[in-house]
Structure formats: structure tokens, C-alpha cells
């Protein structure tokens, strides 16, 4: 990761989620995607609008990671999940529940917290 | 359009050899391929070379010219990168260049040095085949990504860890006589199931090892082979490539690999064959679940039926369609940038009849190689046929 340089779009989204104002991008044809985008990845249209991210989503698939990269060495074991929010999916870590109790279909909300190893921001999901 | 023939192939042993530089590895494979081909080295017109993590592994970019130099060639050389499909896309480009008449003799191959990074370093280097912003920063690893697909597959179609273990057992068994393979020992389903978890539901024995190695092949045009009396009975008759969204979260479905569907369809149409015509396949089994996705994308099995193919003996040596007779990435090893052309090497030998496992497929004339990049954001499929 590049030090001290923001990633436009991505860091804006994390800021917004931290402020409780998460959003996604919707194209003129109704496809959802995540920033930064200049074109819809599904149809190529360049008319993209910010829409509020739904309050909660459902875990679509997940894994308990035991062998991590050095940046996450002290975070293990952790749960990485793909969560379906309807118009978009988000990938992040599930916290606030024993990893053994995580299941597909579990309803979660999204937030921003720090990794244990490096103190970097990341998307997290907590049951709600 | 000319037929593209495989004149010669070469491999290094695959395994843990952290002290060997990629240039040394590729020199061994490249020189072996040239020697096997019978081609005058001065006739080689270019090198098309695959490598993924050279910058991270040995602080080396711009590997094309370096690798041409390593095999003693003064020719244009270009590196292709598509994660674990890097040499697969190099191969596809070489086939196209010979077909369109731009070249008659090309050296294609790949190399990867990984073990000098250690397990943590290699895990980190592999992870960058995923989307940095939305996957890597969430702690997604390469095994973790395939674990997400495995869970999605189980949820959609069913399947168990025992089914996956049968794939690992099969591929280890296939590798036994392969002198180039990293693992040449059998394992049991029980051992696979009791191995430590890497990323649930995938354990240590569901994963390919970290491998150093290189592979290469000399491809020639039909006309060149005839003019120079080159014996090359195997031809690349079909090529296809498909793409998909980079991040899993942006895919339509997490339990299938549409990029491979597209690559397979294109390669079959190109060769004028269908999945039923295929006698043998080498597929990208970086994780056991990857073999399942591959054999379904290739049309050998319906969706949801690939998971039990190994357990039921359909893809074993004595089955109707042997898959990964080389041992696959799982047991032969996966030096990522070298894997695509390593599959070409293994399949060529299988069809020529000089592979340690050729006995399993007497009279086989059609083989397919399937090479995937990342979480199948890239896929390349090639059809090989005995043309005599
Ligand atoms: Zn759209």
C-alpha cells in the first residue's frame, strides 16, 4: 500500500461508511458497482449516480482464514466474507461473532475498523 | 491458415529450489525444448514468455530479453502476465502469430521463482492476483478466495470435503512416476481430511504447493515442419480465452467460472470438436475445487456433477476421461508463470506416447489444457490433437 496517499473513490467510500453514509454507484441501466468507476463494469454506461447502500446484507459465502499474508499475520484466524447488499456485494471481515457460528444467510451491517497486525482500515461486517 | 505443431518441449524439475534464479530455470527448460525439437536454433524468431511475480520474487522486471539471453537467443522477447495463466496467454499469442503467417518458429514458455520468498511472502505475492482495493485489503488470500468459491459451490450444488479429498488423492497418485513432479507420494482421503485448515473448507491437502520451475516449447508452422523434416505429431488445433470481473464480489455467480466457459467454447469451435471428443485433460487444479470448476466449464460434466467425478472414478487413470495425469498443479507443482506451458509440455508427451502416464490413454488423439489466472478472472483453453 502506498503511504500517505489516498485512493480516490475507495477511501471516500470507507469515509462514508464510517460516517454511516455508505453508498454504491448505480448506472442508468440499474447495475450496481463500487468506486472508483468512470464506466459501469456490467454495461459500460458512463452515467453513474451515488445511491445509499442498504443498511444490511446477507453473507453469501465466507471462509475462516488460518494462513494469512504478513499484513494479516496477527489477525488470524479471521472470517473473510462476501456479503450481498442487493445492488452490490462487498468483501470484508466478519467480527462480533465466533468464527464457528458464521453461516451463509447471516444478516450483517457494514463498518470500517482496523486490522490487528498493521492498523490499516478495512471493511468489517457485524451481525445485526 | 497453417496448422501449429509442437516441435519440442522442455521442463525443469518442479519443486523447492529457492537458490535457483528464474533465468537459470528458464534456460534449462528452454534449452531442453530446443534440443527436443530438432529445430535449428537460428530459425527461432521470437520468445513469448510468461511470468507473474518476478518483481516481488527477485526484483526483476523486463524478463523477456533476459530470458532470450539465458537460452542464447538474440530475438525479440516479450513477457506476458495474466497471473497464473501467464504462459497460457503467451502460448495463445504464439499460436496466433504462427497462424497469421508472422512467424514459422517460436519459443514459448514461462518460469517462476517462489520459494525464496518463504510461505508468507509467496502468499502475499499470490494475493496480488486479486483486487487490491476490495479483496487484498480485506485480508483475502489466494486459498481464501478459492475457499469462498468452494463454500458457494457446496451451497449451490452440494458436495463435501471428502469429494475434494478424492481429487487430491487422484492427482497425487497420478504424479508418482512423473520425474518432474514436486510430490511423488500417495496420500489418503483420511490424511487430506485431517490436514490443517488453510482457509475453511480448504485444508493443506486441498492446495497446490509453492513451486520453483520453468517450462518451454518450440512451436512451428506446418510448412516449416515439412521443409525441415521436423517430426511433430502433435498440433495445437484450438485456442480460446475468456475474461471475467476481477473481484469475486462483482461476478454474477461464485460457484462457476464463466471465463473458462467462454475460453472452452472458443477453443472447441476453433478446433471443430466438442467436449465428447476429448480423451484426456490437464486442468488448472491450484486448489481441489478449481478442478471441479474446470471440468464443468470444459463441458465434461454438468454443473454440480464435477464434484463427484474423481470420487466416482470418472476422472481417474482408468476412468472415461483421465484428468491431470501429470499430477496436476496439486502434485506436480505450480510455478505460476510456468504452468500454462507446463500443461502443454505434459499433454504433448501424453499424446506422443513418451509420458510416464501415456499407458493410461492408449490411442488417445485429443487433449485439452485449461489454464486459469487469479480466481479465473482470466482463462485460456487449448486443444491439442495428434495429426501424424
Ligand atoms: Zn450498467
pLDDT digits (tens, 9 = 90+) for A62-83: 999 999 999 999 999 999 999 9
pLDDT at B49 over 70: yes
Judge contact between B26 and B109, C-beta under 8 A.
yes
Helix and strand totals (H; E) in chain B = 13, 11
Of the candidates B137, B141, B148, which has its C-beta nearest A68's C-beta?
A: B141
Burial B7-28 (b: 16+ CB within 10 A, else e): bbbbbbbbbebeebbbbbbbbb
HSE, side-chain direction, 13 A CA sphere, residue B342: 39
| B259 CA from centroid of ligand 1 (Å) | 19
pLDDT value of position A101: 97
- The pLDDT assigned to A3 comes to 63
Given an 8 Å threshold on Cβ–Cβ distance, is B144 in contact with A65? yes
Tell whether A70 is within 8 A of chain B (Cβ).
yes
Q: What CA–CA distance (Å, rounded) separates B30 from B371?
A: 20
Q: Taking a contact as any Cβ pair under 8 Å apart, which residues of chain A between 80 and 119 contact chain B?
A: 80-82, 88-93, 104, 115
Residue with the three cell numbers 502460448: B91
Average pLDDT of the residues in B78-105:
98
Query: ipTM beyond 0.85?
Result: yes
A59 to chain B nearest CA, in Å? 11
Whole-number Å distance between alpha carbons of B193 and B191: 5
User: In chain B, what is the straight-line distance between the N-terminal and C-terminal CA atoms, in Å?
Assistant: 18
DSSP B3: P
CB contact, 8 Å: A68 with chain B? yes
pLDDT average, residue stretch B85-109:
98
Give A70 to chain B, closest Cα distance, Å: 6
Residues of B that are catalytic: 84, 334
List, for residues A87-105, the tens digit of each pLDDT value: 999 999 999 999 999 999 9
Q: Give the Cα separation of B37 and B10 in Å (integer).
A: 9
* B366 half-sphere exposure, CB direction, 13 A CA radius: 15
In the DSSP assignment, the letter for residue B244 is -
What's the rounded Cα separation, in Å, for the pair B204 and B198? 6
End-to-end CA distance of chain A: 31
Q: What is the pLDDT of residues B124-177, one digit of tens each?
A: 999 999 999 999 999 999 999 999 999 999 999 999 999 999 999 999 999 999
Which of B120, B135, B200 lies closest to A63 in CB terms?
A: B200
Contact A66 B196 (CB under 8 A): yes
Average pLDDT over residues B3-16: 98
**DSSP 8-state code for residue A84:** E
The reply to whether residue B144 touches residue A63, judged by beta carbons under 8 angstroms, is yes
| Strand ranges, E, within chain B | 4-11, 46-50, 77-80, 105-112, 197-199, 202-203, 213-221, 234-243, 280-282, 366-373, 378-386
Amino acid at each position: 500500500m502506498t503511504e500517505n496517499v489516498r485512493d480516490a473513490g475507495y477511501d471516500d467510500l470507507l469515509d462514508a461508511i464510517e460516517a454511516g453514509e455508505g453508498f454504491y454507484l448505480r448506472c442508468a441501466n440499474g447495475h450496481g458497482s463500487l468506486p472508483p468507476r468512470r464506466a459501469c463494469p456490467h454495461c459500460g454506461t458512463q452515467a453513474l449516480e451515488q445511491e445509499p447502500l442498504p443498511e444490511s446484507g446477507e453473507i453469501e459465502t465466507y471462509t475462516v482464514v488460518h494462513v494469512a499474508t504478513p499484513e494479516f499475520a496477527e489477525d488470524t484466524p479471521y472470517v473473510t466474507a462476501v456479503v450481498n447488499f442487493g445492488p452490490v456485494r462487498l468483501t470484508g471481515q466478519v467480527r462480533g461473532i465466533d468464527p464457528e457460528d458464521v453461516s451463509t444467510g447471516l444478516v450483517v451491517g457494514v463498518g470500517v475498523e482496523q486490522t490487528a497486525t498493521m492498523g490499516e482500515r478495512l471493511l468489517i461486517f457485524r451481525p445485526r | 491458415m497453417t496448422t501449429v505443431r509442437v516441435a519440442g518441449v522442455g521442463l525443469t524439475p518442479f519443486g523447492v529450489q529457492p537458490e535457483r534464479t528464474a533465468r537459470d530455470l528458464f534456460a534449462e527448460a528452454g534449452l531442453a525444448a530446443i534440443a527436443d525439437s530438432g529445430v535449428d536454433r537460428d530459425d527461432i524468431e521470437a520468445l513469448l514468455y510468461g511470468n507473474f511475480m518476478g518483481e516481488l520474487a527477485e526484483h526483476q522486471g523486463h524478463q523477456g530479453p533476459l530470458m532470450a539471453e539465458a537460452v542464447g537467443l538474440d530475438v525479440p522477447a516479450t513477457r506476458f502476465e495474466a497471473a497464473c495463466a501467464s504462459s497460457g496467454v503467451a502460448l495463445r499469442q504464439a499460436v496466433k502469430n504462427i497462424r497469421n503467417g508472422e512467424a514459422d518458429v517460436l519459443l514459448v514458455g514461462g518460469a517462476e521463482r517462489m520459494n525464496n520468498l518463504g510461505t508468507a511472502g509467496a502468499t502475499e505475492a499470490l494475493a496480488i492476483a486479486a483486487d487490491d482495493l476490495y479483496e487484498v485489503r480485506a485480508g483475502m488470500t489466494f486459498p481464501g478466495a478459492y475457499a469462498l468459491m468452494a463454500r458457494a459451490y457446496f451451497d449451490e450444488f452440494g458436495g463435501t470435503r471428502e469429494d475434494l479429498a478424492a481429487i487430491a488423492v487422484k492427482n497425487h497418485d497420478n504424479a508418482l512416476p512423473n520425474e518432474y513432479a514436486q510430490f511423488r507420494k500417495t496420500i489418503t482421503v483420511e490424511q487430506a481430511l485431517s490436514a490443517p485448515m488453510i482457509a475453511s473448507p480448504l485444508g493443506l491437502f486441498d492446495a497446490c504447493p509453492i513451486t520453483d520451475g520453468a517450462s518451454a516449447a518450440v512451436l512451428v508452422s506446418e510448412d516449416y515442419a515439412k521443409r525441415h523434416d521436423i517430426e511433430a505429431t502433435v498440433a495445437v488445433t484450438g485456442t480460446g480465452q475468456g475474461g471475467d470481473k476481477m473481484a469475486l464480489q462483482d461476478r454474477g455467480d461464485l460457484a462457476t467460472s464463466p471465463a473458462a466457459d467462454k475460453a472452452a467454447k472458443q477453443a472447441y469451435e476453433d478446433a471443430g470438436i466438442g467436449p465428447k471428443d476429448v480423451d484426456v485433460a490437464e486442468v488448472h487444479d491450484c486448489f481441489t475445487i478449481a478442478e471441479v470448476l474446470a471440468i464443468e466449464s470444459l463441458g465434461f460434466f454438468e454443473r454440480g456433477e464435477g464434484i463427484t467425478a474423481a470420487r466416482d472414478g470418472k476422472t481417474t487413470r482408468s476412468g472415461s476421461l483421465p484428468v491431470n495425469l501429470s499430477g496436476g498443479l496439486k502434485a506436480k507443482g505450480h510455478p505460476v508463470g510456468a504452468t500454462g506451458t507446463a500443461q502443454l509440455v505434459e499433454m504433448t508427451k501424453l499424446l506422443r506416447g513418451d509420458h510416464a502416464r501415456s499407458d493410461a490413454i492408449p490411442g488417445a488423439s485429443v487433449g485439452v489444457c485449461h489454464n486459469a489466472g487469479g480466481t479465473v478472472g482470466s482463462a485460456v483453453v487449448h486443444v491439442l490433437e495428434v495429426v501424424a
